[in-house]
Amino acid sequence: MRRVATALALAAATALAATGCAKDDQTVRTGGPGEEPTKKQTRFEKRAEVIENTWPERLKPLDGRPDEMLPLENAERPDPDSRTLTVIVGHGNCDKDWGAHLHETEDLVIVAGWKKEDKNVEFCTEQLVTDKVKLKLDEKFGDRTIVDAATGRQLPHEKAE
């Protein structure tokens, strides 16, 4: 009787998993036992991967202005020996938080802005504010190209003051 109950429980669990009742944000395990599960890629990570695999082909800009991946206003081109990149993030005057995403390859530094709205603000003007955000690079900047993930284009840059 226990074997039948166990078999029925396993069958029910398998059926539930197969019908897609699992959550969207679950992790996916790759590799063998003892390896860490890999997390679901963010929209930025997916876009950076596409840019990495197709650059210098021009990509279409993203539709709209999703809060998790905004086009950047500009970047300060660092010294080739620098491990810091400063980007200019545009966000709303009433946003609670903002920052920038970073993905590095041997030839590219792929970046995009992000923001989080303050849900407690009842009325806010739609005024654009720009702020500098410093990003720490894993490797020296060298002669890499800075690419805006939101637009798919090389980011204009100016020499840092």
Domain extent, residue 67, equals: 43-159
* pLDDT score, position 129: 82
Q: Residue 102 falls within a domain, yes or no?
A: yes
Q: What is the pLDDT of residues 105-118, one digit of tens each?
A: 999 999 999 988 78
Q: Residue 29 falls within a domain, yes or no?
A: no
| pLDDT > 90: percent of the chain | 38
Q: Residue 87 falls within a domain, yes or no?
A: yes
Q: What is the pLDDT of residues 3-47, one digit of tens each?
A: 333 333 333 333 333 333 322 332 333 334 455 656 788 999 999
Q: Is the per-residue pLDDT at 60 higher than 60?
A: yes
Provide the residue type at 110 as one letter.
Answer: I
* pLDDT score, position 94: 80
Name the average pLDDT for the chain.
75
Q: Residue 32 falls within a domain, yes or no?
A: no
How far, in Å, CA of 109 to CA of 145, rounded? Answer: 6
Q: Residue 79 falls within a domain, yes or no?
A: yes
How far, in Å, CA of 142 to CA of 106, rounded? Answer: 9
Find tokens 């010294």 and name the residue.
79
* pLDDT score, position 29: 30
Which own/partner pairs from 92-97 qualify as long-range (CB within 8 Å, at least 24 positions apart)?
92/117, 92/124, 92/126, 92/127, 92/128, 92/129, 93/124, 93/125, 93/127, 93/128, 93/129, 94/118, 94/121, 94/124, 94/125
Q: Residue 78 falls within a domain, yes or no?
A: yes
Q: Residue 30 falls within a domain, yes or no?
A: no
Q: What is the pLDDT of residues 73-108, one digit of tens each?
A: 889 989 999 999 999 998 877 878 889 999 999 999
How far, in Å, CA of 47 to CA of 57, rounded? Answer: 14
Q: Residue 72 falls within a domain, yes or no?
A: yes
How far, in Å, CA of 146 to CA of 107, rounded? Answer: 9
Among 12, 130, 136, 138, smallest CA distance to 71 is for: 130
How many domains does the chain divide into? Answer: 1
How far, in Å, CA of 159 to CA of 77, rounded? Answer: 5
Provide the residue type at 117 as one letter.
Answer: E
